[in-house]
């Protein structure tokens, strides 16, 4: 049974007790981490201009976490109170054993929210199988609703089939269907009307993500980054309402409107206080723990995933690392940490 978090009634103590009961992963800034983002591959078939403009380039290190290693990782994190998992990448669905991985995780009752982020290229044919496997939330990246622009951004002329995949995901009962849109100056920052038309009759949440600088994309970032403030201003002017944030909610700010089936969210990593809402830890496709997307260290865990007897040591290592989680990233100062692009770490 899902425990309902205390409401935003200013009862800070109740909220803290709730957090601590739900997860043992709490850092020194009193942030709790019930949410794990697990990258299962760094490979991707798309070549999004801001992520992998030349497509995925083989490194010879394509030895991604195996199913038995993922299972042990899961055991440890579940013991530590994690109840939300997102599979990401690279393109997670490119793995031949994606459905098997989904079934293995989907069997675990402790996981209440089981999500994945995808470019959607296999969604139309597989939405039902994946929903049946236990996945209940899906984020699909669509950076433009204009087919030509979509093609230019991703390198693939597949918007139509991806949109059909979204329809299928809704039809087969995914509980939350979100559309990720990376905001790009002069490219898609004038498309709010098109996205609003889309959410008018479609029960999806469109989430604008401000473009983030990575180790690889400085020139691109300088050219295309734009703050999402103008999106917020336009939404408020048109009668959209900013939702009250619940404890444990992630860093997105969400807006709703009674005339629309869907909603709009804004993820603004450069905004003040963005990191105070941090509720997630990350595992890279080669099994490193990352405390922050833009951190300077990856803590190797793979050697502790080789047999079941290592679970207690693994749990201790993970818990101890939380003492080193910084209060925020240093993106505003241009410090992107060791992350080269999001496909390697898992966005
Ligand atoms: N391949 C899948 C996809 O694109 O949905 C999952 C991995 S992708 C790295 C996860 C998310 O990160 C996508 O929504 C993508 O648009 C976003 N992303 C990638 N690079 C980014 C950047 N530099 N700034 C902001 N978002 C980015
Ligand atoms: Fe691939 Fe996702 Fe990166 Fe696009 S954003 S290149 S789909 S990993």
pLDDT tens, 270-307? 887 788 888 899 999 999 999 888 777 789 999 999 99
In a domain, 9, yes or no: no
End-to-end CA distance of the chain: 29
In a domain, 64, yes or no: yes
Q: To the nearest whole percent, how much of the chain has pLDDT over 90?
A: 73
Closest Cα to residue 163, out of 127, 200, 134? 127
* Ligand 2 pocket, Cβ-based, cut-off 6 angstroms: 44, 46-48, 51-52, 89-91, 119, 141, 343
Minimum CA distance residue for ligand 2 atom 4:
48
Angle between helices 67-79 and 311-321 (to 10 degrees): 60
pLDDT for 340 equals 81
pLDDT tens, 79-134? 999 999 999 999 999 999 999 999 999 999 999 999 999 999 999 999 999 999 99
Q: Would you say 66 and 287 are in contact if contact means Cβ atoms under 8 Å apart?
A: no
Using the atom order of ligand 2, give the atom closest to the CA of residue 52: 6
Q: What CATH number is attached to the domain comprising 67?
A: 3.20.20.70
Contacts of 335 (CB under 8 A, 6+ apart): 294, 329
pLDDT category of residue 241 using cuts at 50, 70 and 90: very high
How far apart (Å, rounded) are the C-alpha atoms in residues 138 and 126? 12
Checking if the pLDDT of 175 tops 60, the result is yes
In a domain, 59, yes or no: yes
In a domain, 206, yes or no: yes
Closest Cα to residue 301, out of 39, 7, 5? 39
Average pLDDT over the chain reads 90
Checking if the pLDDT of 7 tops 60, the result is no
Checking if the pLDDT of 195 tops 50, the result is yes
In a domain, 8, yes or no: no
In a domain, 25, yes or no: no
CB atoms within 10 A of CB 220: 17
Ligand 1 center–CA 116 separation, angstroms = 12
Using the atom order of ligand 1, give the atom closest to the CA of residue 50: 23
Determine the structural domain holding residue 110 and report its residue range.
33-345
Closest Cα to residue 44, out of 8, 111, 5, 91? 91
Ligand 1 center–CA 339 separation, angstroms = 13
Ligand 1 center–CA 311 separation, angstroms = 31
pLDDT for 89 equals 94
In a domain, 144, yes or no: yes
In a domain, 6, yes or no: no
Q: Would you say 285 and 66 are in contact if contact means Cβ atoms under 8 Å apart?
A: no
Please count the structural domains in the chain. Answer: 1
**Cα distances (Å, whole numbers) of residue 204 to 73, 115, 155, 171, 207:** 31, 15, 24, 12, 9
3-state secondary structure of 288: strand
pLDDT tens, 37-75? 999 999 999 999 999 999 999 988 889 999 999 999 999
Ligand 1 center–CA 260 separation, angstroms = 26
How far apart (Å, rounded) are the C-alpha atoms in residues 170 and 107? 22
Using the atom order of ligand 2, give the atom closest to the CA of residue 90: 8
């Amino acid at each position: 049974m899902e425990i309902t978090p205390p409401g935003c009634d200013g009862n800070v103590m109740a909220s803290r007790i709730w957090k601590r009961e739900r997860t043992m992963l709490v850092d020194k800034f009193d942030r709790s981490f019930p949410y794990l983002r697990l990258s299962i591959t760094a490979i991707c078939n798309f070549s999004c201009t801001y992520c992998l403009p030349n497509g995925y380039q083989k490194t010879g290190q394509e030895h991604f976490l195996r199913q038995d290693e993922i299972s042990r990782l899961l055991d440890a994190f579940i013991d530590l109170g994690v109840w939300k998992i997102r599979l990401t990448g690279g393109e997670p669905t490119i793995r031949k054993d994606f459905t098997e991985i989904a079934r293995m995780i989907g069997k675990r009752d402790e996981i209440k929210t089981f999500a994945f982020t995808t470019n959607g290229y296999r969604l139309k044919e597989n939405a039902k199988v994946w929903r049946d496997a236990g996945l209940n939330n899906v984020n699909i990246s669509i950076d433009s609703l204009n087919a030509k622009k979509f093609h230019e951004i991703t390198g693939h002329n597949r918007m139509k089939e991806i949109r059909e995949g979204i329809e299928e995901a809704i039809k087969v009962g995914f509980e939350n269907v979100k559309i990720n849109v990376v905001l790009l100056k002069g490219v898609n920052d004038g498309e709010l009307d098109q996205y609003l038309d889309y959410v008018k009759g479609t029960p999806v949440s469109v989430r604008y993500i401000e473009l983030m600088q990575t180790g690889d994309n400085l020139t691109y970032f300088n050219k295309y980054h734009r703050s999402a403030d103008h999106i917020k201003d336009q939404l408020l002017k048109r009668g959209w309402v900013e939702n009250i944030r619940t404890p444990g909610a992630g860093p997105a700010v969400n807006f709703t409107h009674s005339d629309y089936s869907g909603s709009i969210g804004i993820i603004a990593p450069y905004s003040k206080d963005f990191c105070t809402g941090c509720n997630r830890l990350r595992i890279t496709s080669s099994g490193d723990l990352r405390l922050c997307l833009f951190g300077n260290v990856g803590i190797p865990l793979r050697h502790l995933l080789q047999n079941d007897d290592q679970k207690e040591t693994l749990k201790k290592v993970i818990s101890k690392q939380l003492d080193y989680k910084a209060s925020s990233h240093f993106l505003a100062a241009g410090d992107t940490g060791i992350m080269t692009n999001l496909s390697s770490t898992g966005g």
